[in-house]
Structure 1
Amino acid sequence: MSSVATWPSRAESWLDQRGKGAWIVAMVLGFILFWPIGLAILFYMIWSNRMFTGRRKSDSTYNVCIRANRMKTTGNTAFDAYKAETLRRLEDEQQAFEDFLDRLRQAKDKAEFDQFMEDRARKARESADAAAANPAGA
């Protein structure tokens, strides 16, 4: 009996992990197989707010837990100060890493653009050389 009761929650978790697109596919397949199933999935998506949110349920739960953990104090001021300093340092490192990734992307974009312009100029030179070597009137 317990396996029968848990398969809907396992299916819900499986779909949540794959995002809103998986829910929409499940709904469409439900309509194709037997229209009341598709209708039930549609109503469930609306009722559980999966239809209108861009985030998965697990993502928002994670973010709430992180925020709650930051605000929670242990009562030990030395540990709380250490924790706050460590979190601040990690956030600084994360920002520095994101800035590094942005610089890498910009460098890659510039290199690709420079290569494009070089190829374009080379093709224009080759066309001009070919036209000069092969005059149309000759």
Structure 2
Amino acid sequence: MTAITAWPGRAENWLDDRGKGAWIAAMVLGFIFFWPVGLALLAYMIWGKGMFGKNCSNRKSHHRAAWKMHAPSGNSAFDSYKAETLKRLEEEQEAFAEFLRRLREAKDKSEFDQFMDDRARRRSEEAREVEPAG
């Protein structure tokens, strides 16, 4: 699949990630700039995505799925394994977030040190230029 043929799918995913408001905004902008685009988006939203039907509660189903992830399954061995795995993953996520924070701090310190070194070097060069040749 080439970049030219892949952009509609990427655009659809981008709009889906932002919800109904993004689709509606895209449709309104389509009507403003070139009305056939707005009309095509409206038709796609109504018939292609079922956006205004009963099955469009994507965010609600996502929240329900997240809740079900923590709900007991009835199998105590599996529930125990799931709880341990989720705890381990949360700890790994926290450790990774801490690693990223330390990495950003180190990068910031490195960039600041480089800035200060460059500044000191420029000042010393300027001082040498100002001194009379003797």
Q: TM-score, normalised by structure 2?
A: 0.63
Identity of aligned residues (%): 39
Quote the offset at 1:128 in angstroms. 0.4
Alignment correspondent of 1:18: 14
Cα deviation code 1:56-92 (max 9, x no counterpart): x867744541332222x22121221111011111110
> Number of paired residues?
110
How far apart, in 2, do the equivalents of 1:60 and 1:133 lie? Answer: 76
Q: Does 1:30 align with 2:31?
A: yes
Alpha-carbon spacing, 1:79–1:98, altered in 2? closer, same or farther (3 Å): same
Alpha-carbon spacing, 1:122–1:68, altered in 2? closer, same or farther (3 Å): same
How far apart, in 2, do the equivalents of 1:126 and 1:60 lie? Answer: 64
**Matched-pair contact (CA < 8 Å) for 1:15–1:22:** no
How far apart, in 2, do the equivalents of 1:98 and 1:59 lie? Answer: 26
Matches within 5 A, 1:1-138: 16-19=12-15, 20=18, 23=23, 24-34=25-35, 37=38, 61-71=61-71, 73-134=72-133
C-alpha RMSD of matched pairs (Å): 3.5
Alpha-carbon spacing, 1:63–1:124, altered in 2? closer, same or farther (3 Å): farther
Quote the offset at 1:25 in angstroms. 3.9
How far apart, in 2, do the equivalents of 1:93 and 1:121 lie? Answer: 42
**Amino acid across the alignment from 2:31:** G
How far apart, in 2, do the equivalents of 1:131 and 1:58 lie? Answer: 69
How far apart, in 1, do the equivalents of 2:115 and 2:35 lie? Answer: 53
**Matched-pair contact (CA < 8 Å) for 1:74–1:80:** yes
Greater relative contact order structure (CA < 8 Å, 6+ sep): 1
Structure 2, unmatched stretches of 5+, are 1-7, 46-50, 52-56
How far apart, in 2, do the equivalents of 1:59 and 1:115 lie? Answer: 46
Quote the offset at 1:130 in angstroms. 1.1
SS in 1 for 2:30: helix
